[in-house]
């Protein structure tokens, strides 16, 4: 599991025209990556599951 801070770059998405850094919406842990590097994904697809710090399931 990967620890992330709020606003830390979580992923970089690449399109035909640009590479865009997507920040983590909150601090926590990446619990599951749904896609691998280089995969093509549809708009709106879930690409990762983040467990927020402070959730009742989070323990550091």
Residue-wise pLDDT for 5-46, tens only, equals: 999 998 898 989 999 999 998 899 999 999 999 999 998 999
d(CA 20, CA 39): 15
Confirm whether 28 is domain-assigned.
Answer: yes
Confirm whether 25 is domain-assigned.
Answer: yes
Confirm whether 19 is domain-assigned.
Answer: yes
User: Which residue has better confidence, 13 or 55?
Assistant: 13
Confirm whether 57 is domain-assigned.
Answer: no
Q: Which two tokens stand for residue 36?
A: 């691998």
d(CA 34, CA 30): 11
Predicted confidence at residue 20, as pLDDT, reads 93
User: Could you tell me the residue range of the domain that residue 18 belongs to?
Assistant: 2-52
Confidence check: pLDDT of 59 > 70: no
User: Which residue has better confidence, 12 or 57?
Assistant: 12
Confirm whether 14 is domain-assigned.
Answer: yes
Total of domains in the chain: 1
Confirm whether 18 is domain-assigned.
Answer: yes
Confirm whether 58 is domain-assigned.
Answer: no
Q: Are 53 and 24 in contact (CB under 8 A)?
A: no
User: 49: helix, coil or strand?
Assistant: strand
Confirm whether 59 is domain-assigned.
Answer: no
């Amino acid at each position: 599991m990967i620890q992330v801070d709020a606003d830390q770059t979580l992923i970089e998405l690449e399109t035909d025209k640009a590479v865009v850094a997507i920040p983590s919406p909150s601090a926590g842990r990446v619990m599951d990556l749904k896609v691998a590097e280089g995969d093509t994904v549809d708009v709106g697809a879930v690409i990762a599951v983040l467990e927020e710090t402070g959730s009742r399931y989070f323990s550091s």
